[in-house]
Amino acid sequence: MAMKPGWVGLAILFYLVGLACRALAWIMLLQSKAEYGQVFLTLNEGYLINNIFPFRLGELARAVLLGESAGLSSLFVLSTIVIERAYDLLIAAGLLLGTLPIVLGMPVARTAAYITLILVGGGLITLYLIAKERAVVQGWLNHQAEKRDFLKYKVVPRLGSLIDGLGVLTHPYQFTMSVLFMLVSWFFAIVEVHALMLGEAISVPLWWTAFVLGVISLGIALPSAPAAIGVYEAASVAAWTLLGVPFAQALAVALVGHLIHITITGLIGGYGFFRDGETLSGIYLRIRKIRSS
């Protein structure tokens, strides 16, 4: 039975709202140093590049593009993307740990979720301490670089920009709002997938969808093929079939959901490239320049 178009349309709407909330979260991480339109388009441009190139080059592209359009250091922007990704991993791990008690026979997933929480949580605490004690860290770096020209002229100035981007962790309002908008974005991601399940005429508890989204997010967390093709579908189908959903319907939901993400970010990101006169080859060359410098 074909998926009902009405539920697909609702899923698209939920995806767009979640995307809008994610852009608001990024603005908070950027300490409101960029306009919403810039941030929203750049977010989709980065996703479009991730859909074309492997190894999540879109994250570096976002840093380059927003840095240029908003007059910010690319490293400053990149540090906010690092925090955003940390949020994603923490939320995904939290979803797994919150739903696993109801799912039997998943000790491996539970262990992976705990490890993710510990590592990412510890990393965020470390970044917070670096941002809070910036003067101490900067002084130590300057001292280490006194007799090393490479460190003095190449490394230390760039680390300063990275530390600036971590400043949101020491600003309670912006930090809280960034977390709130990210959580709302994840909520709409959950109801988007849930709508697709209903489109397949499968009524499942909402916590099943939360569990599946947690599995998918951890599954595609590491750099992979363009658009995480194959990895996304495998993680989604494995999680749904574990819960007893028939393979064919689980695959249909995974394919339609992935297609929604790729199509919407492709259209919006493509418009952003057209508006700004950007080309994929030009952005790729600038990314390579940053990576090699």
Give residue-wise pLDDT tens across range 20-76.
999 999 999 999 999 999 999 999 999 999 888 877 888 889 999 999 888 998 888
Closest CA relative to residue 32, chosen from 168, 166, 201: 168
Domain count, the chain: 1
Tell me which residue range forms the domain holding 174.
5-292
Could you tell me if 19 and 44 are in contact, meaning their C-beta atoms sit under 8 angstroms apart?
A: yes
> Which of 293, 245, 271 lies closest to 44 in space, CA to CA?
271
Residue 262 has pLDDT above 90, yes or no: yes
Q: How far is CA 59 from CA 42, 71, 192, 278, 284, in A?
A: 10, 18, 24, 16, 12
User: Could you give the CA distance from residue 236 to residue 241 in angstroms, rounded to a whole number?
Assistant: 9
Structural contact between residues 28 and 177, judged by C-beta atoms closer than 8 angstroms: yes
- Whole-angstrom Cα distance, residue 292 to residue 174? 33
Least confident of 85-94, 177-186, 257-266: 85-94
pLDDT at 15: 97
DSSP 8-state assignment for residue 249: H
Which pair of structure tokens corresponds to residue 58? 């879109």
pLDDT at site 151 = 59
